[in-house]
């Protein structure tokens, strides 16, 4: 017969796969929100969770109650405020582009292009160099 000890290594492999999948999802989430308004949101949520944890640890019941209310209604507020971003993320997930190798958002690429054009135009204007654009 089979003994459970023979299959113990399967449990370890499952745990390693679990850790790798969670690490990958967290990494991709960080890459998606990097350079967006969501960074400030994550910082704010971190502060609120830290205050909530400390209020529980030190037994500050009133502050804990306020943090519980903030977390409860804050989640609803986040969904309402960031509805366009959430919709875009779900659309990307539906198109299969959420985990693509492209990490720079299109808006950042456009901003960098515009900044490069402005810099080049300023350079040419200072030196009285003409240029034709097509």
Domain count within the chain:
2
CA nearest neighbour of 32 among 95, 83, 131, 106: 106
pLDDT tens digit string along 50-68? 999 999 999 999 999 999 9
Average pLDDT on 22-45 reads 83
pLDDT score recorded for residue 8: 76
On the question of pLDDT at 98 being above 90, the answer is: no
State the average pLDDT for the chain.
Answer: 81
C-alpha atoms less than 13 angstroms from C-alpha of 70 in its C-beta half-sphere: 15
Average pLDDT on 86-109 reads 68
Same domain, yes or no: 21 and 71: yes
Average pLDDT on 81-104 reads 70
Domain hosting 113: range is: 104-134
On the question of pLDDT at 99 being above 70, the answer is: no
Of residues 25 and 6, the one with the higher pLDDT is 25
Q: Which residue is associated with the tokens 């209020």?
A: 55
Of residues 41 and 104, the one with the higher pLDDT is 41
On the question of pLDDT at 134 being above 60, the answer is: no
- Long-range pairs of 28-37 with CB within 8 A, sequence gap ≥ 24: 28/98, 28/99, 31/103, 32/89, 32/98, 32/103, 34/103, 35/105, 35/108, 36/85, 36/105, 37/82, 37/85
Same domain, yes or no: 22 and 35: yes
Same domain, yes or no: 111 and 45: no
Same domain, yes or no: 108 and 68: no
Does this model's pTM top 0.75? My answer is no
């Amino acid at each position: 017969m089979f003994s459970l000890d023979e299959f113990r290594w399967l449990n370890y492999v499952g745990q390693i796969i679990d850790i790798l999948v969670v690490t990958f999802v967290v990494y991709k989430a960080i890459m998606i929100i990097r350079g967006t308004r969501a960074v400030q949101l994550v910082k704010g949520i971190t502060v609120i969770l830290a205050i909530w944890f400390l209020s529980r640890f030190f037994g500050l019941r009133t502050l804990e109650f306020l943090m519980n209310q903030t977390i409860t209604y804050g989640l609803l507020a986040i969904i309402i405020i960031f509805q366009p971003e959430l919709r875009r993320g779900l659309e990307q997930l539906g198109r299969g582009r959420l985990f693509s190798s492209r990490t720079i958002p299109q808006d950042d690429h456009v901003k960098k292009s515009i900044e490069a054009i402005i810099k080049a135009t300023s350079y040419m204007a200072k030196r009285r160099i003409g240029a034709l654009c097509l």
